[in-house]
Amino acid sequence: MSLYRPARKIARVPSSLMSHTRKSSAASVVQPNTAKCPFAAALPIHDPDIAFPSMASDSAIKPFEEMPSPRGIYGIPYLGTALQQYPFTKYRTERFDERAEEWRREFGDICRVRLPSEWNVFVFDPCDVETTFRADSKYPFRRSLPLFDVYNNSRNRESTIGERNGKNWWELRSPAQKGIGRPKTLSKLLPKLSVVADDFVNNCRETGRLENLPYPFFEYASEGAGLLCFNKRLGIVSSPGSPVNREFMEFVDNYFDYFGEQLLAPIHWFKWFRTPGYRKFENASDILMSYTDKHTEIAVKNLKKTPDSNEFNLLHFLLTTPGMTPAKVSSLIVDVFRGGIDSTANAMTFMLYHLAKYPDIQEKLYEELAPRIPAEGPIGQDGFKDLHYLKACLKESFRFVYPVIMGTQRVLDRDVVLSNYAVPAGTTINLCITSMCKNEKYFANPDKFLPERWLRSNPYREKSHPFAHIPFGYGTRNCVGQRFAEQEIYVSVSKIVKNFKISLPKGQDDVQFVYSTFATPKHKFTLNLKPR
């Protein structure tokens, strides 16, 4: 989510979110836990009377206006925002996490900044992250993306999960969660995903390398998303050179490029007129929507009245869910398909990059995989149950290159106390997980790639705060596709590591990254693959 989009005025937040004001008494606000804010003793996340014991007395709670913030000219709406980024400073929009980290060094674990005219709060303490999440309402409020709002309105399309709030959001989130949020259900896709991975591995054998990364994984992730959404192979991996597939992948690539450009733009001019950049995004979106609509239509026509119980069929599940109209199903399928490509492809890319950069870790992973994962053929439904090092490698890769530019945002429907400062309801709170992941207060040796820190037997694991690393978010508004994304990554990485020794070409051992929609390599790069 763009941190530079024109923030909506608090008055625009639904009235249900404005039940508290800055003048609320200290007793009525959600207060932080002390010192450790233990995860194990967590209260129910939706308890309306949730409260946390605080060592601070009511008088110690400081008003919002006293929270540290950039002063002088940097506090001027719009102008102050512009002056704190490139070309006036070294901080570019695509690495806004570095700008935020500089604020942490200057102001401490909490600060407020105008973006571009509204006050945003930035928190760098996982205890504040936990307090924020536990103060969330039953239907967590998140500001929608103006880019999607404008496009959906212009095309008269149903809004997707990300653009909805309240009960309107839950009517899509609930069936999506039941459909793709259960590991036991998704495990039925493992045999089919294994075939996709085998085809991908065979393509790699022909070339001996993975070039132009992350592009090859966009192909792989698109094929996997097609299996999930349409219950069929799209042929992108099995026939990557076909003109139709090549053209479609170009549009997919363009879509995410244009989306990232518009998302991170300092001012969203497209809200008032169709800018050249928006028109490119609009064209790419039309093609992507047409593609998903076509395959959804075909899949619906091919649906059996009673699908094989051993198969997972998302479309059938959604269409037979009470209240799910064809328009809502189409909207959800578009969101799942679109959301399952960019994030997953880049996550695969960085995980394999780290394994190539640290060959000793790669070999340790291979030793775990060797007796359990077949070089070719289906992976069983319990195939990843005991592969703890594989899962630790993914967690550590996410920590090293956090997938989203800051972490996540929340807009609470009541006042909350963060780091002893009162934060009024309706304020955008930015949870700066990216910064926490590289902070030695929360992770020993933060600059060292160390998957062992995530293993239960490792002492480092005990020192990390559970809310200092949440790449898929937390609570009912976390990433609905988390389970499928993890499964798809495990399948691809395990098959590649089982079949090849991965290495980086000389001189390419330091791949930089930037943020677009998600973290992505700053420049395309190559991985060498040597058959085992």
Binding residues for heme: 479
For β-strands 519-521 and 525-531, DSSP reports them as: unpaired
Is residue 166 within 8 Å of 183, Cβ to Cβ? no
CB-based contacts of 79, cutoff 8 Å, min separation 6: 73
- Other CB atoms within a 10 A radius of the CB of residue 38 amount to 11
Is residue 472 within 8 Å of 481, Cβ to Cβ? no
Q: Tell me the CA distances in angstroms from 239 to 454, 481, 518, one per residue in order.
A: 38, 26, 27
**Whole-angstrom distance, CA of residue 70 vs CA of residue 65:** 12
Q: Name the strand (E) or helix (H) holding 225.
A: helix 215-230
Q: Give me the count of residues in the chain.
A: 532
- 3-class secondary-structure state, position 397: helix
Look at the alpha carbons of 182, 185, 191, 195 in this order and tell me if their dihedral is positive or negative: negative
Is residue 284 within 8 Å of 271, Cβ to Cβ? no
Tally the C-alpha atoms within 13 A of residue 83's C-alpha that lie toward its C-beta: 13
Strand partners, 422: 417
Helix axes 482-499, 190-207, angle to 10 degrees: 40
Is residue 235 within 8 Å of 242, Cβ to Cβ? yes
Binding residue numbers: 479
Q: Tell me the CA distances in angstroms from 524 to 86, 216, 527, one per residue in order.
A: 23, 11, 10
CB-based contacts of 454, cutoff 8 Å, min separation 6: 391, 392, 395, 396, 461
CB-based contacts of 48, cutoff 8 Å, min separation 6: none
Q: Rounded to 5, what percent of the chain is helix, strand, coil?
A: 50, 10, 40
Is residue 116 within 8 Å of 8, Cβ to Cβ? no
Nearest-CA neighbor of 332 among 181, 171, 172? 172
**Whole-angstrom distance, CA of residue 106 vs CA of residue 70:** 9
**Whole-angstrom distance, CA of residue 30 vs CA of residue 18:** 15
Q: What is the dihedral of CA 65, 70, 75, 79, to 10 degrees?
A: -160
